[in-house]
Structure 1
């Protein structure tokens, strides 16, 4: 009985071992089937070098036949020779064709044909897809840095230099929304295209703007100009629990930022800058709707805090200074009087300002007194002058009378 169990277990171990080997061989064969392809990738960009591997075991002499025009580009026997831009190598089982610079005529099904048999059927080797990735620019009829939900926005996409030997297509992504800008279509040469899309802005549209070019696979393009759709900046008001115009170093102060109507498609944050010091009010906030927030920042005032007060909004990789109402500066109360000009400066002191009217009155009184004295002197001189003239006239008259008598 014991021997039977041992034999039974031994048989089971052998069966398991055989099963493991079968599975291992299957996995290796499956991996080889995925990687050992005659046309690796099957997709190439125009102007690139490309190589295709073909089976030649059934041919002593063979020809590589180009798609589209069925031209024989390389003929192989003991060795290979071809037209300009094409070459091939061979061994006992395979041949490798090299295209120096892939062109439009190279797209399609490459074939090998037996060179020793007339009217032989060609063997398909590789279905080659050729593509040319375009350049793109996106423009808008509105300011995409300051959008309001509900606004109608039109984006214009200019696409230059695209090609796909199969069907080409373009998808536009704005925020979380992806839409096909055009149906998939064929082109016969490198082409240009202008596409438009109009939509109503909501929070699902805010965020990154990107373009995908589809040709057998997808390329995400880096387009010029519009790269993000951003909501209009939030409203901001900064208040304080004390007067910020005459602060003493060491004072405990709390600034409160009331921020309204903000949204970020990924992560939002705010910083508060007072003079040369920046504090983080909020960071890495995720949201699913337009939001309001009140953020308080306690400070122990130092000389570095004196200066402008600003709030900066951070959304994704973009920072935007906000225009805030309320507190705009923190000012030092200890230097407010010492910075004023002294009594020896050009600016008059408070005492000088007060005495100025008295000095003016005194000067006016002195001036009037002098004028009065001058007038009196003038009158006296005039009277004396007239008296002298009158005396001389009388003497002359007496003298004349005497002579006549």
Structure 2
């Protein structure tokens, strides 16, 4: 099975590939459902092309998938056509789309690049898969409402179609991610790439007797309302019915323990959510699934994979669940609270300067004596308290370093470019 990881910018793309992704999906400016991600622009295609060539030469070919998964308005379509020649500079292996109108556009301007159907199209049955196959799609990213049994049945009916399934990350309280909560509360539409993650805000449930100024019509129709912590005095209706209450924040999806079930059902690719997540998240989650897949394929043992799998719990996440794969009851269980990690990312390792000196690219403040841990694609976590921080020009010892300050780190622990440096605790 192919492992597909998120890449919100060029640096995250590099880490996704380096930490084990077979493919990474990116967005291009203005045409992706993650407009707050950095996405890709200017001449970054040159670096990406060189990076792909490097992995190919190493016998580890990587794929670049491009998400054009917004719902295109007429102006969006015109803007895309105006930039089509620029997009042709990227070494794109497939486009991910939901808007059916883009099929003919991409076929005309990118005739040799395969099409993948976005999960936003909520394709969850074999007849729909056949229709998309006949339209020219190579792969379906199934709607997240599809169960393990659904995947197996679809694969049995349309075996020639590639099926990609989400296995990790945030889920939406919406059908295949087609959410209107953000647009309703803030005017920023998730379907145009501007989701505010309103489903994860801090709400209080109130009855009309406990409100101070709720609209009377709303009170009559909805005896219960919610008030968001940062918006006191604004009340939004809560709909209740037999066996349900329409509220809000879902668990995070985690299928790391069920990859054999996904394989047996016929999944061709496993997808990690999170183009807006951190570099640290991208690397550790990708690495965990890479190691578990390697164990499933007999390349390493389960015991060798397990320490890397446990690192999932050291990333920021909400309570984990299995979504709709085994029972919708699990998907319907909500959670609350912030997603936190017991660690903060101190920085990354750049070029090797000498036998035991390396460029240290600080992202947060650390002081000498603070225990650090080094993480690599095949190094789970190695602690270091005997390091030295140096000024790169004078080689004088430093007592601290933070983002924007050039620095070298001297250590007896062998490192290499691309390693992550973290420390336990909160950012200072």
Could you say which TM-score interval applies, normalised by the shorter chain? under 0.3
TM-score by length of 1: 0.20
> Could you tell me the TM-score, scaled by structure 2's length?
0.19
Q: Using CA pairs below 8 Å that are at least 6 residues apart, which structure has the higher relative contact order? A: 2
Structure ranking higher in helix proportion: 2
Larger radius of gyration: 1
Which of the pair is proportionally richer in strand? 1
